[in-house]
């Protein structure tokens, strides 16, 4: 029953400038983004993270490092969490991309969208590698893990769509803001999405499940927030 905190990097200089950064090296957080990442540190301090995994790009690593200030955890880089390969679109202003014929496909039929040029990939390929990374880390860390992944907007949206059972064509309905936290618990039956695009909520309820036989397992907040097999009939009771 691993619980994953999906965290989008804080606002970057490219975000502020309306530029599609893609995998461009050297894109860092702007001043506002640094403040967002610093604020994450207070929220994550209450979560006993088992591990932290990150995209290799600077804006994610900078966010992770600031958010983990005071923690002994070192982020592990997983290339599968990197930004989508936007190919020829990389480095261009979003307002100019809206005039491209592919823009409509990306917005309305993203499962068919493949970005042209060197390094371009399809959104379906992006989702496949990202979901594979999540499943791999779930298995690697075990059922009691509560861990974080720092990644990018489209990557996180694709993982959330998978967890919600949505076709990739619906993933543009999901909003993932800079420095937001989305939370998924993976059970043998199905994933449960607890939070989406949360920018200020209390994260302290996300604790490892109590060990089997623990006398306090039924009274510890967050220790059994999600049943192992199905949702509570009628919805959660707390």
Confidence of residue 213 (pLDDT cuts 50, 70, 90): low
Read off the pTM: 0.90
pLDDT of residue 67: 98
- C-alpha to C-alpha distance for 221 and 225, rounded to whole angstroms: 7
Pair type for strands 76-77 and 3-8: unpaired
Average pLDDT for 214-225: 45
160-212 confidence digits (pLDDT tens): 999 999 999 999 999 999 999 999 999 999 999 999 999 999 999 999 987 76
- C-alpha to C-alpha distance for 112 and 127, rounded to whole angstroms: 12
67-87 confidence digits (pLDDT tens): 999 899 999 999 999 999 999
Sorted by where each starts, the structural domains of the chain and their CATH numbers stand as 3-198 (3.40.50.1240)
Average pLDDT for 143-151: 97
Confidence of residue 232 (pLDDT cuts 50, 70, 90): low
Least confidently predicted of 17-21, 63-67, 174-178, 221-225: 221-225
- C-alpha to C-alpha distance for 51 and 38, rounded to whole angstroms: 19
- C-alpha to C-alpha distance for 180 and 215, rounded to whole angstroms: 35
Q: In the predicted model, what is the mean pLDDT of the chain?
A: 92
Q: Tokens 């905190």 — which residue? A: 5
Which token pair is 21? 């950064």
- C-alpha to C-alpha distance for 185 and 187, rounded to whole angstroms: 6
Average pLDDT for 33-41: 98
């Amino acid at each position: 029953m691993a619980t994953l905190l999906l965290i989008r990097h804080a606002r970057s200089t490219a975000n502020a400038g309306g530029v599609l950064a893609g995998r461009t090296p050297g894109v860092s957080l702007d001043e506002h983004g640094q403040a967002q990442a610093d604020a994450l540190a207070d929220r994550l301090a209450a979560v006993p993270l088992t591990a932290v995994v990150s995209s290799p790009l600077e804006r994610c690593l900078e966010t992770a490092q600031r958010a983990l200030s005071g923690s002994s955890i070192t982020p592990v880089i997983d290339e599968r969490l990197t930004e989508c390969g936007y190919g020829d679109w990389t480095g261009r202003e979003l307002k100019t991309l809206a005039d491209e014929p592919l823009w409509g496909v990306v917005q309305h039929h993203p499962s068919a969208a493949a970005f042209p040029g060197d390094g371009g990939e399809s959104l379906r390929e992006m989702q496949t590698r990202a979901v594979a990374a999540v499943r791999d880390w779930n298995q690697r860390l075990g059922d009691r893990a509560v861990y974080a992944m720092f990644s990018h907007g489209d990557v996180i949206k694709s993982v959330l769509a998978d967890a919600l059972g949505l076709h990739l064509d619906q993933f543009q309905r999901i909003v993932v803001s800079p420095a937001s936290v989305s939370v998924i618990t993976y059970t043998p039956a199905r994933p449960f999405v607890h939070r989406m695009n949360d920018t200020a909520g209390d994260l302290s309820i996300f604790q490892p499940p109590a060990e089997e036989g623990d006398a306090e397992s039924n009274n510890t907040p967050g220790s059994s927030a999600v049943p192992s097999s199905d949702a509570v009939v009628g919805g959660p009771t707390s």
